[in-house]
């Protein structure tokens, strides 16, 4: 059924920006499936796909890329809210990059709003940046690291 193939770097897809490559994606065939366990250990991330609406809280020790909708709280290391994505709920992360829409409290060390961001949130941060064109409705609060 399947011919044995040597698993080497040439059979794996190239890594692209912002968690675009999901380990275990069957389009790459059996050789990619065999190597995906090694990739999972190195790249600890999850993706909420554009056709998915998640209702409930998400928590990860790794990174989360949201391309669809999440109705609930998210806790992770790096959260990326993609262009057409929506997060309604609290966000607690080390780093947050927002390209889409958010509603709720954002608590993160570093927050970056890209030009397509539409944010209706209270943002508690240590470092904050926003590109021209980003829309913000809410408030910005600098973290008081002395209390932490």
| Tens-digit pLDDT profile for residues 17-49 | 454 444 444 443 343 344 444 444 456 789 999
> What is the structure's pLDDT at 68?
97
- Cα(16)–Cα(18) distance, rounded to whole angstroms? 7
User: Each residue of 109-148: b (16+ CB within 10 Å) or e?
Assistant: eebbbbebbbbebebbbeebebeeebeeeeeeeeeeeeee
What is the mean predicted confidence (pLDDT) over 116-136? Answer: 97
- Given a cut of 90, whether residue 7 has pLDDT beyond it is no
> What is the structure's pLDDT at 145?
62
Domain ranges of the chain: 17-42, 45-142
Long-range contacts of 3-7 (CB under 8 A, 24+ apart): 5/30, 5/31, 7/31, 7/34, 7/35
**What's the pTM value of the predicted model, to 2 decimals?**
0.70
- pLDDT band with cut points at 50, 70 and 90 for residue 3: very low
């Amino acid at each position: 059924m399947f011919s044995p193939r040597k698993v080497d770097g040439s059979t794996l897809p190239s890594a692209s920006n912002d968690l675009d490559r999901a380990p275990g994606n069957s389009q790459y065939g059996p050789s990619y499936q065999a190597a995906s366990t090694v990739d999972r250990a190195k790249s600890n991330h999850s993706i909420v796909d554009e056709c998915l609406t998640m209702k409930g809280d998400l928590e990860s020790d790794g990174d989360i890329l949201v391309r669809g909708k999440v109705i609930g709280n998210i806790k992770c290391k790096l959260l990326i809210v993609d262009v057409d994505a929506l997060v309604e709920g609290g966000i607690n992360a080390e780093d947050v990059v927002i390209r889409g829409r958010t509603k709720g409290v954002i608590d993160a060390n570093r927050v970056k709003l890209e030009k397509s961001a539409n944010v209706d949130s209270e943002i508690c941060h240590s470092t904050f940046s926003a590109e021209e064109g980003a829309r913000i409705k809410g408030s910005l609060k600098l973290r008081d690291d002395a209390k932490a």
